[in-house]
Amino acid sequence: MTLSRYLPILEWGRRYNRSTFTGDAIAAVIVTIMLIPQSLAYALLAGLPPEAGIYASIAPIILYAIFGTSRTLAIGPVAIVSLMTAAAVGDVAKAGTAGYVTAALTLTFLSGAMLLAVGLFRLGFLANFLSHPVVTGFITASGILIAASQLRHILGIEAGGQTLIEVIANLWAQLGEINFITVALGGSTTIFLFWVRDGLEPLLRRLGLGRRMADIGAKTGPVLAIIATTLVVWAFDLGERGVAIVGEIPQSLPPLTLPSFSPDLVSQLAVPALLISIIGFVESISVAQTLAAKKRQRIDPDQELIGLGAANLGAAFTGGFPVSGGFSRSVVNHDAGAETPAAGAFTALGLALAALFLTPLIHYLPKATLAATIIVAVLSLVDLSILKRAWTFSRADFAAVSVTILLTLLAGVEVGVTAGVLTSILVHLYKTSRPHIAVVGRVPGTEHFRNVLRHNVETQPHILSLRVDESLYFPNARYLEDQLAAFVADKPELTDVVLMFPAVNEVDLSALESLEAINTRLREARIRLHLSEVKGPVMDRLKRSDLLAALTGEIFLSQHEAAQKLSERQGPAPAKPPLG
């Protein structure tokens, strides 16, 4: 029971049969074809040799198949995590050096270890702090950044950069070095791929293919582009005329590699590894949950962390780089009929065969083609409409999205996502620090009490009923004191204040001090303080304090009860001796 929770393979493996095998195998063939160019492209994006992309798609997939809970999530290199890898590793080593590869392995190891630890300690809920608008904004900005950074491969120049300004400035500075053959090759591939994305599927359907097959056929379009451009480069020997090609790739299974554990490197890469882990996890889990919902399956977020952690640890020791669950390939896997994670294992087998036998064939593959596949893929992630949706719905969400997008573009991925999370948290704290406090009255003919400013309600002059629309805790404790003083001022006829607590979900020690101060001050003004609709958990806590003993008024189960009892009584509260 417990074992199969940590090893979901025991669960689905027991029921494995021929029909599941067929579905898995077909899906695996299609995903393998799709994953080969993606792996090479994302390795390029991460600043690593192309074979690293293939290696990152073998061991990690097998490990995820054993530990993961999603039946159809396809693990491997993904665009945004690859960009984040380039940013993090680029800060500590120069691209193309052995140090760069080692640093990438260390980053992968750290990320895997963190994911595993968070999963084992069941802290997966932490990912919720990455709000939906922040994730959408971050993916959008990263997509723009990735597309811009890949332009150099289309233009055949060497301009790098981690922010949009750097990228554009570097492209501009080297505009004179453009290789026009590369531009022709890369430009036509990009146009072809855009057409494939939007036009191939309708064409295939007109040619008589079913909806599913047409869809899958369209997704394998990049393979056609790769074959065609490789042949062109080989036939006209364009590699000699300045077109950057993939070149020699070792023909081997993934090597056994060791990350470096030098304390310097580990401390420099710890924060980027954390950010990569969070982003990779959030991307994976949303894909996994979307696909699981379609088949009414369950995803266990903490076990997903364990699966992803194992996958990344696997990548760290087999020449890979950070991996995650990819959106498009998971959808293809699902639509192609994958039923269990075994489909992933078969994909790994396909990639291992590719690593052994296909690598000589892609010697002449131009980097511009890979860049074109990246650009077309990431531009579909860009969703600037989130800005409009957030603006309409709430200024707070708009602030979080726009900070995320702007800072990701202008200061890089790490700053961007961190600033997004911090903005959402700070905006929330700011809002709760000035809660909405409404004077309420009875909706005629009911026992229900609503805001006097919004509803036509009945009130009594000697009773002031205030509904506090927020948990009472340190950021707003003193604010309540100030507001109450303002509400009570200049009302000589007032004898009773009722604080209505249906929306108070918590009272902390700072708020308790404020409530005690309010009680004392109202008593000195000969006004009784009552509470109504105090929720169970809050009441339990107040019982452990001195407030209830000192309270000049009562605790009412409902506001209706409070209004009834208090309207029967009249006259000011009896003066009591001061507390001290």
Residues that bind a second copy (CB under 8 A): 125, 128-134, 293, 389-390, 392-394, 396-397, 424-425, 428-429, 431-436, 438, 443, 446-448, 450-451, 454, 469-471, 473-479, 502-506, 508-510, 512-513, 521, 535-537, 541, 544-545, 557-558, 560
Strand spans (E) along 210-278: none
Q: In the complex with a second copy, which residue's Cβ is closer, 447 or 493? A: 447
Q: How far is the CB of 370 from a second copy (least distance, A)?
A: 33
Nearest distance in Å: CB 550, a second copy: 15
> Residue 192 Cβ, how far from a second copy at the closest point, in Å?
29
Q: How far is the CB of 476 from a second copy (least distance, A)?
A: 7
Instruction: Please state the closest distance from residue 408 (CB atom) to a second copy, in A.
Output: 18
Q: Would you call 377 exposed, middle or buried from its count of C-beta atoms within 10 A (0-12, 13-18, 19+)?
A: buried
DSSP string, 296-323: T----HHHHHHHHHHHHHHHHHTT----
Judge whether 42 and 77 are in contact, CB under 8 Å: yes
Give the separation between CA 80 and CA 276, rounded to whole angstroms. 9
CB of 110 or CB of 135, closer to a second copy: 135
Torsion of Cα atoms, 563 then 565 then 569 then 570, to 10°: -10
DSSP 3-state of 497: strand
Q: Are 198 and 318 in contact (CB under 8 A)?
A: no
Looking at beta carbons only, is 136 or 182 nearer to a second copy?
A: 136
Minimum distance from CB of 544 to a second copy (Å)? 5
- Residue with Cβ nearer a second copy (164 or 527): 527
Q: Which among 161, 84, 136 has a CA at the least distance from the CA of 420? A: 136
Q: Which is nearer to a second copy, 66 or 292 (CB)?
A: 292
Q: How far apart are CA 251 and CA 224, in angstroms?
A: 23
**Taking the complex as a whole, how short is the minimal distance between the CB of residue 148 and a second copy, in angstroms?**
27
Structure tokens at 140: 């959008």
Sequence-ordered list of residues with C-beta below 8 angstroms from that of 166, at least 6 positions apart, any chain: 160
For a second copy, which is the closer residue by CB, 380 or 446? 446
Give the C-alpha separation, 284 to 33, whole Å. Answer: 21
Q: In terms of CB distance, is 194 or 391 closer to a second copy? A: 391
Q: Could you give the CA distance from residue 299 to residue 286 in angstroms, rounded to a whole number? A: 10
Helices 342-357 and 18-45: crossing angle, nearest 10°? 50
CB nearer to a second copy: pick between 152 and 467 = 467
Q: How many helices (H) and strands (E) does the chain have?
A: 26, 8
Length of the chain: 580
Q: How far is the CB of 347 from a second copy (least distance, A)?
A: 28
Least distance in angstroms from the C-beta of 31 to a second copy: 24
Of the pair 18, 298, the CB lying nearest a second copy is at: 298
DSSP 458: B
> For residue 107, which of 316, 290, 254, 292 has the smallest C-alpha distance?
316
